[in-house]
Amino acid sequence: MSNGASMQIFVKGLRVDASIGVHPHEHEGTQPIFIDVYLDVGGMRPQDDRLAETIDYEAVANKARDLARAGHVQLVETLAERLADWCLRDRRVLAVRVRIEKPNALAAANAAGVEICRVREDHN
């Protein structure tokens, strides 16, 4: 990224009904969570206006849904880590930021959750 160019591909506010949480009542059903994913793809510049030249944000959304629905997860941190790890499998992704909100977690707050940032280990 020597020219300073930067591009982020994102999915924001993806609603998924998931079985998530540590409390007994959270094991009994699903609750809404909202997922944001930001992918830093550096100076990526599609030349031929083709999807293969970029990251398919629909694929990112589908993977987020699949991971959230794969079975009960105790912690939003665990789900965020799984999604970040999956995103970094694509060598074009230099860094990823995943935010997961549980809007019903606290009565006196709009939401609670986690936001993690991961940088590809071999990226300087």
* The pLDDT of residue 2: 44
Low-confidence ranges of the chain (pLDDT < 70): 1-4, 123-124
* The pLDDT of residue 70: 94
Query: Domain for residue 114, yes or no?
Result: yes
Query: Domain for residue 2, yes or no?
Result: no
Over 51-84, what HEC string results? Answer: HHHCCCHHHHHHHHHHHHHCCCECCHHHHHHHHH
Query: Domain for residue 18, yes or no?
Result: yes
* The pLDDT of residue 48: 78
How many structural domains does the chain have? Answer: 1
Query: Domain for residue 3, yes or no?
Result: no
Query: Domain for residue 108, yes or no?
Result: yes
* The pLDDT of residue 1: 37
Residue 74 structural domain? 8-119
CATH number of the domain at 105, please: 3.30.1130.10
Query: Domain for residue 1, yes or no?
Result: no
Q: Summarize pLDDT for 95-117 with one digit per residue, the tens.
A: 999 999 999 899 999 999 999 99
Query: Domain for residue 59, yes or no?
Result: yes
Residues designated as active site: 102
